[in-house]
Amino acid sequence: MNLDSSWAIYGAVLALIWAIYVIVVRKGERYNQAIKTAAVEAGLTEPASIHPQIDPAVCLGCGACERACPEGDVLGLLGGKAELLAPTHCIGHGECARACPTGAITLVFGTAKRGVDLPQVNANFETNVPGIFVAGELGGMGLIRNAVEQGRQAVEAIRKRRASDQSQVRAGGYDLIIAGAGPAGIAAALTAKSHNLNYLVIEQDDLGGAVFKYPRGKVVMTAPVVLPLAGSIKFRETTKESLLAFWHGIVDKHKLAIRYRERIDDIVEDGGEFAVRTSKAIERASAVLLAIGRRGTPRTLNVPGEDLPKVVYQMIDPEQYRGQHVLVVGGGDSALEAAVQLAAVPDTVVTMSYRAGHFARARLSNREKLDQLVRQGRIRLLMPSELRRIDSNSVDILRDDKISTLPNDAVIICAGGILPTEFLRRAGIAMETKYGTP
Ligand SMILES: Cc1cc2nc3c(=O)[nH]c(=O)nc-3n(C[C@H](O)[C@H](O)[C@H](O)COP(=O)(O)OP(=O)(O)OC[C@H]3O[C@@H](n4cnc5c(N)ncnc54)[C@H](O)[C@@H]3O)c2cc1C
């Protein structure tokens, strides 16, 4: 083989490698573009809170951030630079910023377009209202380990405040009311119990906070953290179900005082302590810890029977409704997605009620799937109609001025949510709006 033909072979091999590289990169970019387009079409372009901001002038396009993201599709390469693809999927792991070799990524709160309201707190997690504290995601930092750590630290601060100021120690009422039984609330309750504080946790839904609402089987990435009384959470990677089982075990073992399916509506300062008005009672406490996350409170319909245990505001697992008569109420994407998923479960009878005459707020792809299932008779669509009453075995629905009673085992209401901002302002808590602040 002469020198010329050797060069030709080397050249051909290099060209082949280059061609394969270009094909792989283009395929990856097409995939990323599809994710971004879907997010834009759905109007899901603004991250919930803390998220990466990428400086394109510094980004090398190496893709280290894309590979490091535990959620998979938050950011990726487009046109050779990293971009946010599905910003609403970001929960603030920060792995992208750590992986970037050039420091092109900064973690920020809010965007120039959509500010994020955060309560102002001091180093002890206390707000401008003395005695009201904030822990966990409500303060802006996502992640289970941050929520757990802040829940613990906030209660330590509350205990020290009581120890140094005897006016905080009162007869009657609770020493501390904790709002929310997510990771921050559970850690706070354990800390309060470990110090013999007279505490109560009030949770509008079920144990676990955001974790309870993850999709079935979701892989949860977390870092080891230490919980008072319970010891350390050792796992780094687990599933939603295992984590919830772990927390249920802790709550049962330590007999934590938690009242479920009760919402805190207002907190009013009254005679040096707080009157905490819930959906069921008024309780008094010397201090309140807000561990309510940032996802808000589901909007209720205020119809008779809405407090029955068969009524929920989010579908977690369609399989649990197998063989049941289920009513889905609402006309947004969550309602349509819930109805479509339920219709795929054999023997489930799905009815959907929406008060408007057409779905103006739902994505086209969801509307098309729903239309198809309605045509196939898998979903019965009552529109426009209004849910008027819920009984243990039936529901009353008003349609064309006539009430019909339908057999029913479960009701899923998807009527949107109310963000906690208004609730915090009513309690007198000062807020700060962040527009892309590191
Ligand atoms: C889809 C998804 C995947 C995630 N994956 C991960 C992961 O892999 N690893 C990780 O570390 N983090 C993950 N996170 C983030 C993590 O779940 C949150 O950061 C964490 O749960 C925050 O804990 P928290 O206790 O502050 O708030 P939350 O978990 O949101 O809990 C707040 C609780 O307060 C209750 N509440 C709200 N308002 C009221 C009220 N007025 N009265 C009474 N109760 C009220 C709510 O019902 C809720 O139970 C994920 C989040 C989502 C949405």
- pLDDT at site 3: 66
What is the chain's mean pLDDT, rounded? 91
Ligand 1 atom 50: the closest Cα is on which residue? Answer: 91
Residue 215: pLDDT over 80: no
Distance 231 CA to ligand 1 centre (A): 21
Nearest atom of ligand 1 to the alpha carbon of 214: 1
CB atoms within 10 A of CB 295: 17
- pLDDT at site 25: 79
Ligand 1 atom 10: the closest Cα is on which residue? Answer: 143
- pLDDT at site 360: 75
Residue 227: pLDDT over 70: yes
398 occurs within a structural domain:
yes
Ligand 1 atom 27: the closest Cα is on which residue? Answer: 293
User: Any idea what the CATH number is for the domain that residue 346 is in?
Assistant: 3.50.50.60
Asked if 48 and 101 sit in the same domain, the reply is yes
Asked if 95 and 185 sit in the same domain, the reply is no
87 occurs within a structural domain:
yes
* Angle, CA of 351, 356 and 359, to the nearest 5°: 75
- pLDDT at site 171: 61
Pocket of ligand 1 (CB under 6 A): 91, 136-137, 142-144, 147, 179-185, 202-205, 209-211, 214, 220-222, 263-264, 291-293, 295, 297
DSSP secondary structure code for residue 173 in this structure? S
304 occurs within a structural domain:
no
Asked if 284 and 327 sit in the same domain, the reply is no
β partners of residue 200: 177
Asked if 45 and 76 sit in the same domain, the reply is yes
Ligand 1 atom 4: the closest Cα is on which residue? Answer: 91
Residue 78: pLDDT over 70: yes
Asked if 224 and 317 sit in the same domain, the reply is no
Longest dimension (CA), the chain: 99
Q: Which residue has the tokens 């009201």?
A: 132
Q: Closest by alpha carbon to 350, among 375, 323, 331, 330?
A: 323
Residue 275: pLDDT over 90: yes
Boundary (domain end) residue, out of 114, 145, 161: 114
Distance 184 CA to ligand 1 centre (A): 8
- pLDDT at site 170: 63
Asked if 224 and 282 sit in the same domain, the reply is yes
Boundary (domain end) residue, out of 65, 83, 114: 114
* Angle, CA of 395, 399 and 404, to the nearest 5°: 40
Provide, rounded to the nearest whole percent, the portion of the chain with pLDDT above 70: 98
- In the structure encoding, which two tokens stand for residue 145, read together? 């380990």
Asked if 140 and 164 sit in the same domain, the reply is yes
DSSP 3-state percent helix, strand, coil across the chain (nearest 5)? 35, 25, 40
- pLDDT at site 260: 95
Segment 128-136 shows an average pLDDT of 96
Task: Look up residue 247 and give its amino acid.
Answer: W
Asked if 275 and 357 sit in the same domain, the reply is no
Give the containing element (helix H, strand E) for 252.
helix 240-253
Distance 247 CA to ligand 1 centre (A): 14
pLDDT tens, position by position, 138-188:
998 888 999 999 999 999 999 998 888 776 666 678 999 999 999 999 999
78 occurs within a structural domain:
yes
Ligand 1 atom 15: the closest Cα is on which residue? Answer: 143
Boundary (domain end) residue, out of 86, 114, 142: 114
Q: If pLDDT is split at 50, 70 and 90, which confidence band does 295 have?
A: confident
Asked if 68 and 154 sit in the same domain, the reply is no
Segment 38-59 shows an average pLDDT of 87
pLDDT tens, position by position, 56-74:
999 999 999 999 998 888 9
Ligand 1 atom 3: the closest Cα is on which residue? Answer: 214
CB atoms within 10 A of CB 437: 15
Ligand 1 atom 26: the closest Cα is on which residue? Answer: 136
376 occurs within a structural domain:
yes
Alpha helices in 125-210 (DSSP H): 144-164, 183-194
Pocket test for ligand 1, best of 144, 206, 424 (most atoms within 8 A of CB): 144
Distance 146 CA to ligand 1 centre (A): 11
Asked if 43 and 172 sit in the same domain, the reply is no
Distance 144 CA to ligand 1 centre (A): 8
- pLDDT at site 282: 97
User: Any idea what the CATH number is for the domain that residue 45 is in?
Assistant: 3.30.70.20
CB atoms within 10 A of CB 297: 19
- For residue 360, what are the domain limits? 311-417
d(CA 393, CA 9): 77
Asked if 60 and 129 sit in the same domain, the reply is no
d(CA 73, CA 81): 15
305 occurs within a structural domain:
no
Asked if 265 and 354 sit in the same domain, the reply is no
Contact status, residue 273 vs residue 172, Cβ threshold 8 Å: no
